[in-house]
Structure 1
Amino acid sequence: MESPNGQPSPMPRKKMTKQLTGKKDDTPLHSAARAGNLGAVMEILTGTGEEELKELLEKQNQSGETALYVAAEYGYVDVVREMIKYYDLADAGIKARNGFDAFHVAAKQGDMEILRVLMEAHPELSMTVDLSNTTALHTAATKGHLEIVNLLLDAGSSLATIAKSNGKTALHSAARNGHVEVVRALLTMEPGMATRTDKKGQTAFHMAAKGQNIEIVEELIVAQPSSINMADTKGNTALHIAARKGRIQRRKLLHDASYSSYYLLTLVFNACKRDLVEFRTFNNINWHTLLDTLQDMRLCLLQQNASELETVIVPLTTRGKIRHNNNAVFLVQIVRLLLGHSGTDLKAVNRTDETALDTAEKTGHSEIAAILQEHGVQSAKTMQPQDKNPARELKQTVSDIKHEVYYQLEHTRQTRRRVQGIAKRLNKMHAEGLNNAINSTTVVAVLIATVAFAAIFTVPGEYVDDPEEIPPGQSLGEANIAPQAPFIIFFIFDSIALFISLAVVVVQTSVVVIESKAKKQMMAIINKLMWIACALISVAFLALSFIVVGEREKWLAIGVTIIGATIMVTTLGTMCYWVVKHRIEASNMRSIRRSSLGSRSRSFSVSVVSDAEILNNDYKKMCRDRQHISKAVRSITLAKPEECKVVKEMLLENQSQVERQECYL
């Protein structure tokens, strides 16, 4: 493929997946770089003045991207090679809104040639970091770009020691994502990195134990055997992490399955929408249609049976491959590897007094628990059966209460968010309905005013318009039917309807009401005025009908009057009935809310009322927890003060949390 200037343009793999749509605030240099048009880029660079060129090179679009960033992102090596000649170090290191500069985005995408070009021009670019203090080496290690990792390590081994803002190094991320060769390269350059910890106190060994690649665990054991028993801030060793991670993988599989259900449902919907009968009835290798698969996934999700999900999500053709979640298999292998190592401490206890066996049983990973028992790992209670330290027992009780209170507070917050969300949606619906009603009322008022104004000048019989033929007692322009009683009734009622409608139009177009309550009150008054205007214009029409039909056909006017009066009286009467009934029900609801001490909800939705009951139950539970905490505080004086000082502080802290939440409720 050729570039727009007719010269061959390099086409890296990423450019095939990138769209060439420009972004807001793109300069001509951005557009030329995005299209890979080397000729246009050179023309802009050479045909621009020095000061203007510097400003153009520094110019960022809406996403904060410079032209050099765009060329590096799209993988145009020749364009980058030409543009970097005009960039100094400061301009080349300008970061986009995502925190990446041109060098960093090239490292993320694995563009070795672009990195070489940039490093030849400005070697210092390899030391740049993003918003979370992530280096290009860290990003390349996370993505598994081995060649780029080696290139950056050769440029400066100190890059490997730079940690992110959360304390994780490139070795942490490479171990977590299962990139064995990258881990080997990093350990070869900096063997001491194996013992570096992040802010959670976790080493790369903890990351590897989360089940991506067993070879990484072996590499880390060889590099630093002592790291096998290193504990994080919660006292968890790698064995604890591996024993606990199985449950998380099971939850992840259920989570992924829910998304798969969504995509399958989207396929079914689109097939039905486009009437693709063959697609809807297409069977997979198990002779299941898409609807069958959705039903099976629904049952598995309801039963929380993650092990069956892998047998449900099967390919639609015999050529497809079933995607298995191998993390659970890796976890079992990692646990066996750790147990087989002589340096593994099988009696390691974390800060919650749990061994690896306790963790596996607590998270429901029965397979790993069985393996741990086979290798002699015991629970903490079995290892310390005689430990009757009252301070420890009290501390454990406080810890349990703390977790229970935390879950209750979290549930309360979630309930509050749901209530607020429902209330917000209701308010939005009410506001939209009110605005629609106001707009509709304005249109009706204008229509009634137009009809009423026009009717007075188009009366039957016309007017006296010939000055020479004016009947006695009449004046020029006077209606011929003016002396008749029906016309007088028509004139009065039509005029009142006209001015009521005009008043409504003036109010609607002049008064701007923002407060919802005031807007409702104004709308209620305007509605009643429109009812009156409709009734008056109806009476005016019926009065004029007696003149139109004449004396002989007067029965027609009487019939129309009866029909019209029946319709209008029935309609207005029904509306008045519902208004009065609504007022009575609203008054009763206010009385019930005032008399009920337990109900605090002001929503009209039944679901919101049920959420208020949940909040009330949570409040009662927290009151009981506060009583338990108070008893524990009183009983702690019986123990030795030096043993229970920390426990007492935890109790008082939890009690204050409950009291704060109680005040909120």
Structure 2
Amino acid sequence: MLAKTFGPANTTPLVSAATRGHTEVVKLLLELDDFGLVEMAKDNGKNALHFAARQGHIEIVKALLEKDPQLARRNDKKGQTALHMAVKGTNCDVLRALVDAGPAIVMLPDKNGNTALHVATRKKQAEIVSVLLRLPDTHVNALTRSRKTAYDIAEGLPLCEETSEIKGILSHHGALRSRELNQPRVELHKTVTEIKKDVHTQLEQTRKTNKNVHGIAKELRKLHREGINNATNSVTVVAVLFGMVAFAAIFTVPGGNDGYGIAIVVQAASFRIFFIFNAIALFTSLAVVVVQITVVRGETKPERRVVEVINKLMWLASVCTTISFIASCYIVLGHHFQWAALLVTLIGGVTMAGVLGTMTYYVVKSKCMRNIRKKEKMSRRSGSNSWYDNTELSETELSQVYAL
């Protein structure tokens, strides 16, 4: 229980022992550690490995890493790992032990972008710098957040023997100043300038093209709306005509009626067929008329959908009127001229079947083409932003529009 107590600044007994180099105490605490004592850190985020590495206690560092190798990657609130602390000292064995536990930590930066090489250079630790540069994972020209390399840091230090030695070590390993890394070549600068000029020209052309396309699209939308209005007016007239014919047919029934207005052939199957399909044609036509006089004209796409639905209803009214006429032929001609009724049935059936079949083919074809165009527009929009501006033209349905 005492091992879990905390002192000032959240200091654990393990942190105190690691800081003071009490190796036996650290090992004893690690043997008793079954509740994550090794991972506990002070208020500043530094754990026992940070302090042991800073003081150069190699045996304690090895014991901690043996307990938990992942400690080498833990950082404090400044983003510093134990390696950042180790390079501030002079014990190269501590550095090697940490790198052996995790070779990639040599390039882990703190919150200011400083790697272990930057810190060692700033602390004038020439031997540590030499050891770091011999590691395969060390990048000698890594940049900090302030865009400085290790050589830039070395040049900013006061001139002394250690500074000169560090600069010599860095130069031997190919260290450069940051401005030497970012110096643009003449050819690259020229190429970038040409690309900018070409892009500017293309953008100007695209803007002009979009302006022309916008004007064309506006005219096409106007023509499209006029076409829909003409189609709806025509459908309304035809629907009224169908309704008038169907309404009048029930009062002048085929075969005549008796003195009381009842149809003479009311029991015949042909009359029942005539009556049912005539009623369907009448009410379908009236429904179309009601829709046409109720719908308020506005957007083009909803209007087109309304026209498509209404035209399907007119198909139904036409079929029902055809069947009513054929049934009335059987009533009027009777059994003596049944061949004439059969001829009318053949003519009407072939005509309506041919027309409706052809129109159905065009309906299906139109929907398939519309789906294909939608997929093409989606793929082009995802591939080019400039094409997206030109899709206004395609939204007006440039392909053939059937009033179906």
User: Shorter-chain TM-score: what band?
Assistant: 0.3 to 0.5
- TM-score normalized by the length of structure 1: 0.29
Higher relative contact order (CA 8 A, sep 6+): 2
